[in-house]
Structure 1
Amino acid sequence: MNYKILVDSCCDLPQDLRKESRFTIVPLTMEIDGEVIVDDETFDRQEYLRKMKKSLKTPKTACPSPEEYKRHFEGEEENIFVVTLSDKLSGSYNSAVLAKSLYEEEHSDKNIVIFNSFSASSGEVLIALKVDALAKAGESAESIESTVNAYIDEMSTYFVLESLDNLKKAGRLTNVQALVANVLNIKPVMGANNDGTIKKIDQARGVKKALKRMTEIIGEEKDKLNEKILVIAQCNCVERAKALKDDLLEKYTFKDIIIVETAGISTTYAYDGGIVVAV
């Protein structure tokens, strides 16, 4: 199949795949204290974390425009697959859908399939990997669309963060009831609903115990783990991610576990020390 995969920059692809020509990352932007930062290969996570810690304001984020997506539809590839953030968390999906409509008004030479991840970060990675594997196997665009949408329905996303402040201030926790005060060091185990909104699953005292509880929840909620890939996205806490991977492998068997670094958008909301898992 002649194809390419577009992902928005909340998809924290492994570094080796970022270099592959069949993958294109369409950047979102962040704005902090009047400075606009593009979430592309120039993004400096350590410097961005420093700016966030120094600032009194929560960063603002903006999705790619329809024109930006439309520009990436150009090229020789006959099949284009797009993976975006949940439409409940960003306008990225709607921008991609509008871009497809605009492109198809002028052209009829491509199959363009857009996937609403109903997730973010590591969830988008899993979807992009699934699309890539099916396309490499020679599946048709129609078959890939059907298979991947079923895969999205079965996928789960979990996260444990040091701080939920940026998510709360940005309105991403609208449907989540008040959480326990930070002074108690209670860390919630969060997840995604089927519609891509955020929910609280459980809680524990401290990040380590919250991650242990998340590991247990994965075993309780998911089956056939030996057939699944699990992706851990970590924000400036690679040792924490490695410890989580070890804990998961001590309890369960997976097809693979991949650790990735958060780029700009994921860093904005996961913040320093955050972990996002998809399986």
Structure 2
Amino acid sequence: MSWCIAADSSCNLRSFVPTAPETSFRLAPLKVHVGDREFVDDAQLDVAELTMAIAAEDTATSSSCPSIGEWAEIFRSADNIIAITISASLSGSYEAAQMARTMIMDEYVREHAGSIAGKNIYILNSRAAGGKLEVLVRLLDAYLKQPHAFEDVVAFIDHAEESSQVLYSLSRYENLVKSGRMPRGVGSIASKLNIRILGTASSEGTIKLIGSTRGEKKTINKIVDTMASNGFSGGSVSIDHRDNADGALGIKEAILQRWPMATVHIESCGGLCSYYAEESGLLIGYEWA
């Protein structure tokens, strides 16, 4: 039986190759709209070109979710599929994936004399974006190295989602404000005062502000302290950055100093996360159980 670990492109893994046997990894691309141009957030996207286009555009910009057809193509690719989406509170990706699942399961039943045996699709709402999805993908890949029943895999990934979190450390907020994902007054004040805001995901999957910091050292300390207060004790971490490799490395070093047994990966933001994280933004996903 073949497996596919799927995610939409709010997950910033672009060249990930699963280590589990008979397992593939697929991404459903979100899109960023800049003026009359559409940038598809896939492995071929030139993020620098996207960034320059956004900076030069005077009119509104926006993002959109993968289509039902794009999800359906992925769901046809394996016998067992676990798909992880950006928070359903932030995007229509989860809903599109659910509709694609219904379509593919109906298609499978017609082609197999009314039976669904041999085809399983599960859609997980990550209630986050960025690094949390990458943590979940890697945990799932490790779990699939051993054979498991599909329902056990679903139980595993549900528990992993409930036992993981994401932090957003941002210094620019224009696109979040424009999209309605951050109050305009909060973004305006933070920008004027040159404050870096630290946020996390609420239980509903929306962005919840934790506090603000000034200076790199205070920011890193706040991130590490927040992780500890959430129960992190040395598990898997994924740090995404928008043109801020030094900041990501500083967080990694602080994590390993405090929890030497932690596993920390650093990724560059793809198109969607670059659009919302903006200049020097950081997204830190981690699991604690």
TM score, norm. by length of structure 2: 0.89
Alpha-carbon offset, residue 134 of structure 1 = 1.6
* Structure 2 residue aligned with 1:3: 3
* Structure 2 residue aligned with 1:198: 207
Q: Is 1:27 matched up with 2:34?
A: no
* Structure 2 residue aligned with 1:13: 13
> Matched residues in 1 for 2:60 and 2:244: separation?
21
> Matched residues in 2 for 1:79 and 1:57: separation?
43
In structure 2, the gaps of 5 or more residues are: 109-115
> Matched residues in 1 for 2:24 and 2:49: separation?
29
> Matched residues in 1 for 2:280 and 2:136: separation?
24
Contact 1:9 1:28 in 2 (8 A): yes
* Structure 1 residue aligned with 2:111: none
Q: Is 1:138 matched up with 2:139?
A: no
Q: Is 1:160 matched up with 2:162?
A: no
Aligned-CA RMSD value: 2.1
Contact 2:31 2:40 in 1 (8 A): yes
1:141-220 equivalent positions in 2, closer than 5 A? 141-173=150-182, 178=186, 180-220=189-229
Structure 1, residues 9-65: CA drift from partner, whole Å, max 9, x if none? 111116343999711111111110111111112211111111122222442111111
In structure 1, the gaps of 5 or more residues are: none
1:72-151 equivalent positions in 2, closer than 5 A? 72-75=74-77, 77-107=78-108, 108=116, 109-151=118-160
> Matched residues in 2 for 1:147 and 1:18: separation?
17
> Matched residues in 1 for 2:73 and 2:258: separation?
46
Structure 1, residues 187-209: CA drift from partner, whole Å, max 9, x if none? 22110012211101111124552
> Matched residues in 2 for 1:56 and 1:73: separation?
38
Alpha-carbon offset, residue 82 of structure 1 = 0.5
1:230-241 equivalent positions in 2, closer than 5 A? 230-241=237-248
Q: 1:8–1:181: structure 2 CA closer, same or farther, 3 Å change rule?
A: closer
Supply the AA of the counterpart residue of 1:13. L
Contact 2:31 2:64 in 1 (8 A): yes
> Matched residues in 2 for 1:262 and 1:148: separation?
23
TM score, norm. by length of structure 1: 0.92
> Matched residues in 2 for 1:128 and 1:268: separation?
22
* Structure 1 residue aligned with 2:71: 69
> Matched residues in 2 for 1:85 and 1:114: separation?
11
> Matched residues in 2 for 1:135 and 1:114: separation?
17
| Fraction of identical pairs, as percent | 26
Q: Larger deviation: 205-214 or 194-203?
A: 205-214
Alpha-carbon offset, residue 182 of structure 1 = 2.1
Supply the AA of the counterpart residue of 1:162. S
Alpha-carbon offset, residue 255 of structure 1 = 3.1
Contact 1:187 1:207 in 2 (8 A): no
> Matched residues in 2 for 1:188 and 1:181: separation?
7
Alpha-carbon offset, residue 181 of structure 1 = 3.6
* Structure 2 residue aligned with 1:276: 283
Supply the AA of the counterpart residue of 1:87. A
Alpha-carbon offset, residue 71 of structure 1 = 1.8
